[in-house]
Amino acid sequence: MKPRQRRERWWLCVAPLYLFTLLFVLGPVLYMIAVSFAQNTAGTGFRWAFTLENFAKMRDGVYLNCFRESLRLALSTTLLNVLIGYPFGYFMGRLGARGKRLMLFLVMVPFWTSSLIRLYGWLIILQAKGLLNNVLLALGLIREPLKILYTYPAVLTGMVYGLLPFMILAVYTSVEKMDWTLVEAARDLGATPARAFLTITLRLTLPGLMSGVILTFVPSMGLFFIADLLGGNKIVLVGSLIQDQMTRGGNQPFAAALALVLAVMTTLLLALYRRATHMSELEGML
Amino acid sequence: MKRKRFSFAAFYLALVTLITYLPIAVVVVFSFNDSKLPVAWKGFTWRWYETLLRDAALMEALRNSVVLGLVSCAFAAVVGTLGAIGMARVHYRSKGMMEYLSTVPIMLPEIILGMVFMAFFSLLRLPFGWPTLILAHTSFCIPYVYLMVKARLVGIDKSIEEAARDLGATPARAFFDITLPLILPAVASGCILSFAMSFDDVVISIFVNGPTLSTLPIKVYTQMRTGVTPEINALCTILLAAVVLAQALSAALRRGALRREESNDKGERV
């Protein structure tokens, strides 16, 4: 009798969370899905009439190009992050306890620093009369200042830079947990270092690499202010398109449809991630 | 040969770390530069910090950001903490689904969350400004508190609270005397984390801030689009110091809790 009485009270504790989540998470998301099937009217309004025209509109070259551009940027960002972040996480995981603590701190500080501030630093470095051009000029490598800011490489730099900590931390956690005696055993049995790495280390750290890939790929699909600040308005990503349609364009149904497609892509990838690894790893990183 | 490989690793770690800190260093250094353009070093000055303090619009944006962060973080602390405590004890069928849904705000790309809130709030005819900003920020602060407290609860012995109840403590008393002190470090670090996230947010705020209300990151963002000024350097340096301080505090709290736990364990063993 007594334990049951106790258990019944707990609904009071979860009630605010349930209420808030239903009202301000599930509600808005369902509403967005509904709007994506509504019909846009002149001005900022829309009409409730079931239509697929918002999705059909995305087949237009301009918008397809946006998706292609976003995907290309997200993929190159992720690939570069793997190439730079994996060795970093790997080397970090092989350090002694003190080295690990120091590196972890050094990685975390920029991670928690405002992304705007770090972008602003790149803005200063990359601008026409900025640090990078001055250094290159002084070294005699170039004669005229290069135009770096407001180009694709500048955006890519900003993206890779912003998301690298995710990759490093994901790889590091899996390298740290690894059982190194397996590698030693393989070496004792005559495997070359390269072979031991490929068959054992790489395979055991694959979940970490996977979660790093998803942790960088997912946000890079939606990030728009890096492209906006470092790329000028030349590179239009799905994110900037959504913002534009929502504010200046006044086409809410189309913005909702774009967001829905982006969200579905993201959710599918996250589901993949959840299956490939354990959710608790992600939670532990927060 | 082993030595050589190690030195390459050290070199690589140092190089990447250096590049990581370069933009931050540039921002800080040029905030003290006695020149309008962040191009060459012209000497040390506090000038930009002084102009910054006289900039009424920026100061108001700073105040707005602090208030917004504190209020959303307070709401998130109550909802997230109670939620995590309750969720650990209830066995509803909707639990897994709800747990997933409640963390959606930090799983979805910010741009989607921002536009979803904008559309939904205009449907509800909420006045854009404080109410919408607080609701939106609370929604993405809750998961941080929730996940932190949930992780902490896993490590707590439930029998302590049960013992208190068996000895006649009311649920409220058992909560305030036993559970709350134990999870307080997690609540605190969750709060600091969510405050930092709220204080840093541009994307979501831009969608729901309304025509007149501006937060600090929005101000910085709009100024950055028009070009770089040393005042922003000074502002960024101050923000940087604040975030590093908050993080150090949060880490210290977590470490303190860990140490206390360790000494408790030792005490039990003896």
pLDDT of residue A281 exceeding 70, the answer is no
- Say whether A262 and B112 touch across the interface (CB within 8 A): yes
Which tens digits make up the pLDDT trace of A147-182?
888 888 889 999 999 889 889 988 898 888 888 888
**Chain B positions in Cβ-Cβ contact with residue A29 (cut-off 8 Å):** 104, 116
- Say whether B27 and A121 touch across the interface (CB within 8 A): yes
Nearest CB to A18: which of B98, B109, B220?
A: B98
Which chain A residue has the Cα nearest residue B192?
Answer: A112
Record the pTM.
Answer: 0.80
Q: Could you tell me the domains of chain B?
A: 62-262 (1.10.3720.10)
- Say whether A262 and B196 touch across the interface (CB within 8 A): no
3-state secondary structure chain B: CHHHHHHHHHHHHHHHHHHHHHHHHHHHHHCCECCCCCCCCCCECCHHHHHHHHCHHHHHHHHHHHHHHHHHHHHHHHHHHHHHHHHCCCCCCCHHHHHHHHHHHHHCCHHHHHHHHHHHHHHCCCCCCHHHHHHHHHHHHHHHHHHHHHHHHHCCCHHHHHHHHHCCCCHHHHHHHHHHHHHHHHHHHHHHHHHHHHHHCCHHHHHHCCCCCCCHHHHHHHHHHHCCCHHHHHHHHHHHHHHHHHHHHHHHHHHHHHHHHHHHHHHHHC
A-B Cβ pairs (cutoff 8 Å, strict): 232
Which tens digits make up the pLDDT trace of B187-238?
988 888 888 889 888 889 999 988 889 998 898 888 887 777 888 888 888 8
**Chain B positions in Cβ-Cβ contact with residue A236 (cut-off 8 Å):** none
Nearest CB to B239: which of A114, A123, A225?
A: A114
Which tens digits make up the pLDDT trace of B99-137?
888 888 887 888 889 999 999 998 999 899 999 999 999
pLDDT-derived band at B75 (thresholds 50, 70, 90) equals: very high
CATH architecture of A60-285: Orthogonal Bundle (1.10)
ipTM of this predicted complex?
Answer: 0.78
Across the range B49-76, mean pLDDT stands at 91
- Say whether A16 and B225 touch across the interface (CB within 8 A): no
Give how far Cα B208 sits from Cα of A98, A159, A240, Å. Answer: 45, 25, 16
Which tens digits make up the pLDDT trace of A201-253?
888 888 788 878 877 887 887 777 888 888 877 778 888 888 888 888 788 89
- Say whether A24 and B139 touch across the interface (CB within 8 A): yes
Phi, psi angles (nearest 5°) of residue A46:
-150, 165
**Chain B positions in Cβ-Cβ contact with residue A252 (cut-off 8 Å):** 119
pLDDT-derived band at A276 (thresholds 50, 70, 90) equals: low
Which tens digits make up the pLDDT trace of A36-87?
998 888 777 788 888 888 888 888 888 888 888 888 898 899 999 999 999 9
pLDDT of residue B269 exceeding 50, the answer is no
